[in-house]
Structure 1
Amino acid sequence: MSAPHTDVEQVEAANTAFYEAMERGDFEELSSLWLSPADLGIDETYHDPADAGVVSCVHPGWPALTGRGEVLRSYALIMANTDYIQFFLTDVHVSVTGDTALVTCTENILSGGPAPDDGDELGPLVGQLVVATNVFRRTPEGWKMWSHHASPVLAENDREDGDETPS
């Protein structure tokens, strides 16, 4: 496969790398994909990182997390407590304006933990449908994640009677 040439292709590749790092449980790779003040040429010793556009993340059912340390700790916690996770992305849409890119997608997630009895086998797989918005910033090293926001999609039987769309 050839290297991505357009901004949209590069953002798609960065988005895919994010999910693949999660699937592999590769915390170092995942960390390198998130924006840091250094990516923007800012020395944190002398400047407030918030001035550089602090990163943020909302996992389904979690409060908003802000700051690189807090966001990366959340991924370390998820990786430490998830034996298996796989993302099937659908409805992927990429929009690029200047040095900012927006990706919306549906995450069809399969995940599992250890079996309850002996822990040597994978427990039952659980499926979850989540919509996500990923925001990227252009850096000298390429596109980096600035914000990830994911929200569960309610199943039809979870909605109020007669409610055609989630509110």
Structure 2
Amino acid sequence: MSAPHTDVEQVEAANTAFYEALERGDFETVSSLWLTPADLGVDEEYHDPADTGVISCVHPGWPVLTGRGDVLRSYALIMANTDYIQFFLTDVHVSVTGDTALVTCTENILSGGPAPAAGEELGPLVGQLVVATNVLRRTRDGWKLWSHHASPVLADNDDESESDEDGEASP
């Protein structure tokens, strides 16, 4: 196996681990998958790691969050207020250049009430379609997230283009 192919597989594995940790509500694993200031050579003795702006995140409809403190706090809030979440990733594309990787994907998200017990029906869920870009950096501990940006996909509206008398679509 060539090194670039191995890099792509490792990036895919790190990306998948991130979404799986979110589904489990595993805050410790989510935290460990994000870059720390030390990963980028920032001396934590002189900089508060919670405030150092080495990572960023944009959740759909949220402002830009910068720094480990704000980013990880956002995931803690999401996990604390979401009983059930599942990601079905599609259109995943990985590009690796040196020590930086870019992952683009579509997050098909189901979320809502508590996960059903064995044999129970799934309660009401809300589906959301989101496109995401994840930027990862290679560290001595493996690939870690540097930035996550997610934006909702607007639903197609078939009523937007009505035909005029000649059958031509009007703007």
TM-score, length basis structure 1: 0.83
Query: How is 1:3-152 mapped onto 2 (pairs within 5 angstroms)?
Result: 6-46=6-46, 54-113=54-113, 123-152=123-152
**Shift of the alpha carbon at 1:154?**
0.4
How many positions carry a matched residue from both structures?
A: 152
Rounded to whole Å, the distance in 2 between the matches of 1:25 and 1:148 is 18
Q: Is the 8 A contact 1:81 1:113 kept in 2?
A: no
Structure 1 unpaired stretches of 5+: 115-120, 163-167
Q: Answer yes or no: is the 8 Å Cα contact 2:53–2:66 preserved in 1.
A: no
Q: Does the C-alpha gap of structure 1 residues 24 and 48 become closer, same or farther in structure 2, counting only changes over 3 Å?
A: closer
Amino acid at match of 1:67: G
Residues 34 and 102 (structure 1), Cα distance of their counterparts in 2 relative to 1, 3 Å cut = same
2:164 alignment partner in structure 1: none
**Does structure 2 conserve the Cα–Cα contact (< 8 Å) formed by 1:83 and 1:122?**
no
Aligned residue for 1:43, secondary structure, equals coil
Kept after mapping to 1: 8 A contact 2:57/2:148: yes
Q: Partners of 2:43 and 2:70 in 1: how far apart?
A: 19
| Aligned counterpart, 2:153 | 153
Whole-Å Cα distance in 2 between the matches of residues 143 and 96 of structure 1? 11
Structure 2-normalised TM-score? 0.81
Given that 1:112 and 1:122 are in contact with CA atoms closer than 8 Å, whether structure 2 keeps it comes out as no
Distance 1:160 1:40, change over 3 A: farther
Question: C-alpha offsets along residues 89-128 of structure 1, whole Å, 9 cap, x if unaligned?
Answer: 00000000011000000000000035xxxxxx97510000
Amino acid at match of 2:57: C
Measure, in 1, the Cα distance between the counterparts of 2:131 and 2:152: 6
- The equivalent of 1:165 in structure 2 is none
Q: Which amino acid aligns with 2:38?
A: A
What is the alpha-carbon distance in structure 2 between the residues aligned to residue 48 and residue 28 of structure 1?
19
Runs of 4+ more than 6 Å apart: none
Is the Cα–Cα contact under 8 Å of residues 128 and 152 in structure 1 kept in the other structure? yes
